[in-house]
Amino acid sequence: MQVLPVGDCVWEIPTTEKPGMLVPARIYASPELLGAMDAGVFEQVTNVACLPGIVRAALCMPDGHWGYGFPIGGVAAFRADTGVISPGGIGFDINCGMRLLRTSLTEDEVRPKLGALVDALFRAVPAGVGARGFVRLTEAAFADVMRQGAGWCVRHGYGWPEDLERTEGRGCLPGADPACVSERAIERGRQQLGTLGSGNHYLEIQVVRPGGIHDEALARALGIEGPGQVLIMLHCGSRGFGHQIGTDYLRAFVVAMRQYQITVRDRELACAPFRSPEGQRYFAAMTAAANTAFANRQVITHRVREVLAEVFGRDPHALGLSVVYDVCHNTAKLERHRIDGEERELLVHRKGATRAFGPGSGDLPAVYRDIGQPVIIGGSMETGSAVLVGTQRAMEETFGSTAHGAGRTMSRHEAKRRIGGRKLLAELEARGIVVRAASIAGVAEEAGIAYKDVRAVVDVLHRVGISRKVASLTPIGNIKG
* CB contact at 8 A, 87 and 253: yes
Beta bridge partners of 349: 76, 332
What stretch of H or E contains 150? helix 150-155
Which burial class, exposed, middle or buried, applies to 172 when counting CB atoms under 10 A from its CB (0-12, 13-18, 19+)?
buried
**Catalytic site residue from 235, 404, 413, 462:** 404
Which burial class, exposed, middle or buried, applies to 406 when counting CB atoms under 10 A from its CB (0-12, 13-18, 19+)?
buried
| Per-residue pLDDT at 302 | 97
| Backbone φ, ψ for residue 65 (5° rounding) | -155, 170
DSSP, collapsed to helix, strand or coil, labels residue 240 as helix
Instruction: Give the span between the Cα atoms of 191 and 437, in whole angstroms.
Output: 21
Q: pLDDT tens, position by position, for the chain (481 residues)?
A: 999 999 999 999 999 999 999 999 999 999 999 999 999 999 999 999 999 999 999 999 999 999 999 999 999 999 999 999 999 999 999 999 999 999 999 999 999 999 999 999 999 998 877 778 888 899 999 999 999 999 999 999 999 999 999 999 999 999 999 999 999 999 999 999 999 988 789 999 999 999 999 999 999 999 999 999 999 999 999 999 999 999 999 999 999 999 999 999 999 999 999 999 999 999 999 999 999 999 999 999 999 999 999 999 999 999 999 999 999 999 999 999 999 999 999 999 999 999 999 999 988 999 999 999 999 999 888 889 999 999 999 999 999 999 999 888 888 888 888 888 888 889 989 999 999 988 888 888 888 888 889 999 999 999 999 999 999 999 999 998 7
Instruction: Give the span between the Cα atoms of 91 and 201, in whole angstroms.
Output: 15
What is the CA angle 128-132-134, rounded to 5? Answer: 130
| Per-residue pLDDT at 239 | 94
| Backbone φ, ψ for residue 468 (5° rounding) | -120, 130
Instruction: Give the span between the Cα atoms of 134 and 111, in whole angstroms.
Output: 28
Instruction: Give the span between the Cα atoms of 413 and 473, in whole angstroms.
Output: 28
| Per-residue pLDDT at 445 | 84
DSSP, collapsed to helix, strand or coil, labels residue 73 as strand
| Per-residue pLDDT at 474 | 97
What does pTM read for this prediction? Answer: 0.96
What stretch of H or E contains 477? strand 467-480
Beta bridge partners of 166: none
Instruction: Give the span between the Cα atoms of 107 and 114, in whole angstroms.
Output: 9
- Check the CA dihedral 250-254-259-261 and report its sign: positive
| Per-residue pLDDT at 416 | 84
DSSP conformational letter for 1: -
Rg of the Cα trace of the chain? 21
404 is annotated as an active-site residue: yes
Instruction: Give the span between the Cα atoms of 375 and 388, in whole angstroms.
Output: 5
